Amino acid sequence: MRNHMVNNIILICLLVGLNYSTTFTKLPQSLLVLSLPRKSDSVNNYTYIWDEFANSSGDIPGDDILAYGGSYGPFHNYSEIVDKIICLNQTFPEWVELEIIGQSYFNRSIWCVHVTDENITENKENILIVGQHHAREQITVEQALYVIDYLIFSVQESQESQESISILLQNKVFSIIPSLNVDGASILHRYPWQRKTLRPIDEDLDGIQDEIDLETSDINQDGYIEIIASEEMPDVFAKVETEGVDLDQDGKIGEDSPGGVDPNRNYAYDFGNPYFSSDLKSSQIYHGLNPFSENCTRVFRDFLAKFQFPKVLTLHSGIFAVYCPPYSQNSVRLEDEEFYQSLVPIIQANINIEMTQVQVSAGMFVPWMYYTHIESKMVLNLEIYGNLSAYHEEPIVNSSLIRAWGVWDFFNPPANLVINNCQIWWPVLLDLFTYNLADFYSIIPEDDGSETYLDSFPLLGGGIISTIAIGIILMKYWRKKGFD
């Protein structure tokens, strides 16, 4: 994949944000926003994602990411995401701003790309999109980057959609985080099962955290990393060992691999519910010791406390589905059921999938966002890909354990189908972007008891947007077969 090397990056700490009114206030100095110099010829330096994936290979036997190695092949690893969005900002500074919203446990920056028409500074509706809450769901990164590129491409070069997208960007601010779990995603080429964060956890309870760098390796050279797991609850498993080398000679392999905590069990609402989260550290749905114990969840919680986002979308994979909040359990507003039901024909007009309610909260983002932030009316979890036929498991004779393999292809399409998958979801996303929330919600109540009309949401920034304060949603994909 092409690396976009950028020199002379100027760090600007002019942080402009807003409170819940239409006036602008200065943001905390903890926010770091990058405003990059323009290049007169930089339009020729940016490569759209569909060109990056052009001529990509089809399915590779085994876990594709193992064959690609640290470069991730045509997929975007962390450094390539950063290079790409920096080049994007240099190329289209009138449409794009970058912001570092916080740091991961291992001090990687978590980036947000803000896309809007900066020449229009009237009040705009703010839309949040986040990818890669769970590390192994790499397709969500590519979908997020596709949305960014398609918006920019449409107003620059596509005559067919130029007018409609131009109008969209005059009235919306898109705050898009391609990768939230940046630490977990950094080891996919060695351990494609990685779902959780990488904050060290003593999974095997021997008193030492992550004592072995990573024992996992494809010993039998079949292209897969196999795991051995025990069933913790129906369709949910806890890892016991992995295929690899016993580096510490304790008779077990991969019993304490790097990390971690499931970020999507780390929110405060219904935290620790044992039905679909776990206090077992080796579990794929380990919730952590406390709500917001993870850097990424704390960062997003703090941002969401400051700003209003009428629409929030989280991207996940493992199945084709759309999940909405559990409005029928304890509705915040009487209109919610009618509103979410109104989205069903919109979704099904574009893609033949169902929309259902999240049934168990258990520290997940969507219910937490729904009950905590009443100003966010559209909170959806989009499961954008799944291939159950790629996933395999078999019982181990004379034990309660199972052996499983095929995780990468379960969650991610072959490289040559990535853009096709993104194109499938684009009409759904576009209809959600343009949906008029005022049809159901004319006013939004504030925490102080006042009310804000939906059509008076301020732009997250002012003038030529040198900053935009982002609230980021950590959203979680819902229950799926296997290890989630």
Give the range of the structural domain holding residue 33, as residue numbers without chain letter: 11-186+294-387+412-456
pLDDT at 168 over 70: yes
Would you say residue 257 lies in a domain? no
Tens-digit pLDDT profile for residues 205-250: 555 444 445 556 666 778 898 888 888 877 777 766 766 555 555 5
Which pLDDT score, from 0 to 100, does residue 288 have? Answer: 96
Would you say residue 239 lies in a domain? no
CA atoms within 13 A on the CB side of 158: 15
Ranges 33-42, 86-95, 172-181, 342-351: which has the least confidence: 33-42
Q: How far is CA 37 from CA 18, 48, 87, in A?
A: 25, 20, 10
Residue 180 and residue 303: Cα distance in Å, rounded?
Answer: 14
Residue of 262 and 223 predicted with greater confidence: 262
pLDDT at 105 over 90: yes
Tens-digit pLDDT profile for residues 13-64: 222 222 222 222 222 223 333 333 333 334 568 999 999 999 999 999 999 9
**Domain with 339 in it: what CATH number?**
3.40.630.10
**Percentage of the residues of the chain whose pLDDT score is greater than 90:** 57
Number of domains in the chain: 1
Q: What is the pTM of this model?
A: 0.82
Which pLDDT score, from 0 to 100, does residue 308 have? Answer: 85
Would you say residue 169 lies in a domain? yes
Would you say residue 352 lies in a domain? yes
228 in Cβ contact with 242 (< 8 Å): yes
- Would you place residue 469 in the very low, low, confident or very high pLDDT band (cuts 50, 70, 90)? very low
Would you say residue 45 lies in a domain? yes
Tens-digit pLDDT profile for residues 300-319: 888 888 778 999 999 999 99
Which pLDDT score, from 0 to 100, does residue 236 have? Answer: 74
CB-based contacts of 61, cutoff 8 Å, min separation 6:
222, 223
- Would you place residue 404 in the very low, low, confident or very high pLDDT band (cuts 50, 70, 90)? very high
34 in Cβ contact with 83 (< 8 Å): no
